[in-house]
Amino acid sequence: MVLAPATSDPMMTQSLAEQHTRAIRLWLYAIAALVLAMVLVGGATRLTESGLSITAWEPVIGILPPLDVSAWQDAFAKYQAIPQYRALHSGMTLDAFQTIYWWEWTHRLLGRLIGVAFLLPFLWFLWRGTLAPSLRPRLWFILGLGALQGAVGWWMVASGLAARVEVSQYRLATHLILACVIYVTLLATARRLNDGPPPPFPPPLAGEGREGARIRVSAIGLLVLVLLQIYLGALVAGLRAGYLYNTWPLIDGTFVPDTARLFFAVPLWRNFFENTLTVQFDHRMLAYAIFVGALVHAFDVERSVKHAAARVGAFALFAAVTLQVALGIVTLLWRVPLPLALLHQAMAMLVLTTAALHAAGLRLRASIPLIPAQAGIQAGSLLSRDERVEKATPPAPGRDRR
């Protein structure tokens, strides 16, 4: 929701509200695009083993890279002091170090850019009074998640600087899933902002009650499963499990491995995070579940929903999931070459984007901002979409709408 200043001209009030809403929506989409870029660069940083090349967390002065040979040699010496260099990159040249350094530096620079690009416009919109009270807590929440993400990023890097040659898979998965949560929240918030007049009918769903609730719940359920699958993918990456068991549809010589191999670690829960066979098996099984769920959801929407955008969204999600499953299989069979691994991660974000926009679109009925000049509504007031439709829709014959 967006507030418009009250004026004596209803048309001017409506125009200002539309301009404010459009500006906020475009700002949120721009931030989401930056977060998407950061996730993709982060994936390249991990796959090129660049994430530990910067061994200090310097939020302000760290924005400047080494500017001369002496500074480069000092940064390289710090990297040579950690276990990863000695175990994996012993004998690396300064030129090779600079390559991995630039990946990590770009990743961190994007993080700083996102923080500034979100905070400054947010403060401007607050100062101008264009944010409705219902929107402000969500934006404060996103800002808080962004600050937490910076701390989690360093917490992840720190896990690989002393006793390990790579970062903890627990922390890697946490870092990635938090970025995805921020991304989804940005998309959903932007998607649910609308600067146009309400339609004179109650789509997107053909029916209300159980049918409409089922469609919305299944869309949200698929979104949650996609997030869980991305989390499992991060565990696979952190354990390098993609380089093992490179057969399909069988894994370890069978479709369902023996429980003695799946659950040998004690306590039991550790198998789901540290056993490479279990983690890769879970990742595969959840991919099958999402594929089937997306197919069933698409046909359910086709049968139950009249609104074309909802049906297109459901089938776009199924198409994206299908492509991602196929790409994952090829990436596995070819033993995770860098180009395919990067494409697989990018496709995961496309699936997440489609799922988030589709779920948010189905919930538009519950959250559309007011255009104050419409139907005699006073500027600055806030009504739900249902209330606005009630005001905008003529009464049925014989029905008193007082």
The closest alpha carbon to 99, from 53, 64, 68, belongs to 53
Q: Which residues of 382-394 are buried (b: 16+ CB within 10 A; e: fewer)?
A: ebebeebbeeeee
Angle (nearest 5°) at CA 357 between 352 and 359: 95
pLDDT value, residue 131: 87
Residue with tokens 């903890």: 168
> Using CA atoms, how far apart are residues 155 and 342, in angstroms rounded to an integer?
24
Is the pLDDT reported for residue 117 higher than 90?
yes
In this predicted structure, the answer to whether residue 390 has a pLDDT above a threshold of 70 is no
Q: How far is CA 239 from CA 39, 66, 146, 172, 236, in A?
A: 19, 32, 26, 10, 5
Residue 383 pLDDT greater than 80, yes or no: no
Q: What is the pLDDT averaged over residues 382-390?
A: 39
The mean pLDDT of 264-283, rounded to a whole number, is 96
Q: Which residues contact 269 (CB under 8 A, 6 or more apart)?
A: none
Contacts 24+ apart (CB under 8 A), 310-317: 310/203, 310/204, 310/205, 310/215, 310/358, 310/361, 310/362, 313/354, 313/357, 313/358, 313/361, 313/362, 314/219, 314/358, 316/354, 316/358, 317/222, 317/351, 317/354, 317/355, 317/358
Quick: pLDDT tens for 38-48: 999 999 999 99
Other CB atoms within 10 Å distance of the CB of residue 355:
28
Q: Which residue has the higher pLDDT, 386 or 182?
A: 182
User: Cα separation of 74 and 197, whole Å?
Assistant: 60
The residue among 344, 394, 368 whose CA lies nearest residue 39 is 344
Do residues 352 and 224 touch, judged by C-beta distance below 8 A?
Answer: no
Q: Do 135 and 126 form a contact (C-beta atoms < 8 A)? A: no
Residue % of the chain over a pLDDT of 90:
67
Contact 310, 362 (CB under 8 A): yes
Look at the chain and count its residues.
Answer: 402
Phi, psi of 131 (to 5 degrees): -100, 125
Q: What is the pLDDT of residue 165?
A: 85
d(CA 40, CA 62): 21
Global pTM reads: 0.85
Higher pLDDT pick, 184 / 207: 184
**What is the chain's Cα-based Rg?**
25
Give the torsion sign (CA, 29, 35, 38, 39).
negative
pLDDT level of residue 5 (50, 70, 90 thresholds): low
pLDDT in tens, 303-342: 988 788 889 999 999 999 999 999 999 999 999 999 999 9
Cα separation, 290 vs 224, in Å, equals 10
